[in-house]
A and B are shown apart, each in its own frame.
Chain A
Amino acid sequence: MEDTKIVDEYAKRAVEKLKMKKEGNLIVFEGIDGSGKTTQVRMLVEYLQSRGIDVVFTDWASSANIGKYIQTMRKDKIEVVPRTFSLLHAAEFAERLENLILPALSAGKTVVCDRYVYTAIARDSALGVDEDYVKEIYKLAPKEDLLLYFDVPPKMALERLIKRAIKENTAKQTTKKGKKGKVAGTISPAGTIAGTVAGTIAGTVAGTIAAKIGKLDEKEKASWTDYATMYGYMKDVFKTEKDEEAYYAFVAKVVEKYKTVTGENNAVVIDGKIPADFIKTQIMSVVNKKIFKAE
């Protein structure tokens, strides 16, 4: 059995690699889809780069193998049970941790994450997976230096998502590159919770939107930029009232858990309702104060 010691030795090394020392700063953006965080992430990355800081940006569910497959699952609407959904995302995170987040942090770079472990805690526990279980499978995640939570009413978030879908669809049709079916894939609610009970609901929402956008003519599409029309349109995004209720009930659960868990981790709460430029200024000031210790 002398030989098995070799296995232990190499296995230990493989696992130790995931406990690298963190030198750089870690900034985390959290919030539901349509809360405005992604826009702000981009602006912050640009700002940091303009200051000559070495920044690495990373998106949720984006790793080379597991992440790529999660994206395929979203697109093809492959459904899995909540625990499988949860473990798959933890696998994706562990892959990205080793290949991207840890190397950057140990090299002293600043890492900006669009979603982090709080997304998993909020979403998976809303799906019925035990919160402690989720926390345990993300135990490798280094603690962030700054956590920003984007607070926005679920209804407003959904409006933004619909607007975004319309805009993307219109752009695609103009360039004649777009495929109708693609819209569903680009709308976040379908994407982020696809493969779950709630995903089915959100998927239906996105599917409905995509189908309707596909059918309507240019004139009508143009009028959707108008808020009042949008609101009227939103009313029949959901096939039935029950679908609508289920959707909002799920989002409400996510938001509730999000607030608790980000609150426990001293998140800076960003009011996602205010204009993007104001938020940008606010975030720059928080980052300068908390990360770069400026006056």
Chain B
Amino acid sequence: MKFAKDNFQRNGALIIVEGVDGSGKSTQVQLIGRWLESQGFSTVFTEWKSALQLKPMFKKIWKEDIRINPYVFSYALAADFYQRMEKIVIPALKIGQIVISDRWAFTGIIRDTSRGLDRETVENIYQYAIKPDVALYYDVPPEVAVKRKTNVPRYYESGSDLGLPYDRQKNFEVFEGKQIETYRKLAGEGLITLVDGNAPITLVSPKSRNIVKNLFKKRFGVII
């Protein structure tokens, strides 16, 4: 996967986290954010599928389990991604803030290829995504991710829109398995940094922090 070259001055840094539902990434992202704030950095948080301009559209489709085909799914989420990238992420990077993003274009690749689109097609859609300074991928075995999930899996998160033949729970299990398989492939290609998420929170966060510390040392010459 190729990223777009910055056509702006990147004064801040972009830290992104990836992982399947139940990988613990959202907990980690919160901890990283709080820690950086405590170090005096100004942070901005953004997450997948959250552009205000499109929220009512997604809300309706997701709430009512309305089936949209894999291409509609892909384009709509990419639309959301670029809106946030251009209006939230880039402006923050310009003024030197640390942007923490829960999911990045990799999620598009993972989910859209799991829904049958070619990787080349998806990479083309996300060709304007800028490169994260750090991309953390929280890896957990499918069984662990599934076990951490306490509520009944939703329509899209379980891949039920594909018409998978089982019930929601079982669909979720196989769909998570598929996504983890692809995530590991991306990690193998060096696109995302694999962090073993199969441990208690307290043990996972030092790993995350060490990677971020390295970034700050390399990029800003500061030791935190």
Contact in complex: A66, B181 (CB < 8 Å): no
Contact in complex: B159, A94 (CB < 8 Å): no
Q: Which residues of chain A in 62-90 are interfacial with respect to chain B, using CB atoms and an 8 Å cutoff?
A: 65-66, 69, 72-73, 78-81, 83-85, 87-88, 90
Majority secondary structure of chain A interface residues (helix, strand, loop or mixed):
helix
Contact in complex: A14, B76 (CB < 8 Å): no
Quick check: is B155 within 8 A (CB to CB) of the other chain?
no
Quick check: is B224 within 8 A (CB to CB) of the other chain?
no
Contact A11 to B75, CB < 8 A, known contacts A65-B60, A65-B66: no
B119 to chain A, nearest CB (A): 13
User: Which A residues touch B114, using CB under 8 A?
Assistant: 7, 11
Contact in complex: B124, A136 (CB < 8 Å): yes
Contact in complex: A87, B177 (CB < 8 Å): no
Q: Please, which residue of chain B has its CB at the minimum distance from the CB of A81?
A: B86
B164 to chain A, nearest CB (A): 5
Q: Which residues of chain B in 64-122 are interfacial with respect to chain A, using CB atoms and an 8 Å cutoff?
A: 66, 68-72, 74-76, 78-80, 82-83, 86-87, 114-117, 121
Quick check: is A216 within 8 A (CB to CB) of the other chain?
no
> Contact mask A37-60 → B, CB, 8 Å, 1/0?
000000000000000000000000
User: Which A residues touch B117, using CB under 8 A?
Assistant: 15
The one of A14, A88, A136 in contact with B116, judged by C-beta atoms closer than 8 angstroms, is A14
The 4 closest A-B pairs by CB, nearest first: A11-B116, A15-B116, A91-B75, A87-B79
17 sample A-B contacts, Cβ–Cβ < 8 Å, listed by A number: A3-B173, A7-B164, A7-B174, A13-B116, A14-B163, A65-B57, A69-B56, A69-B60, A78-B53, A80-B54, A81-B83, A84-B80, A91-B79, A95-B68, A95-B72, A136-B124, A140-B71
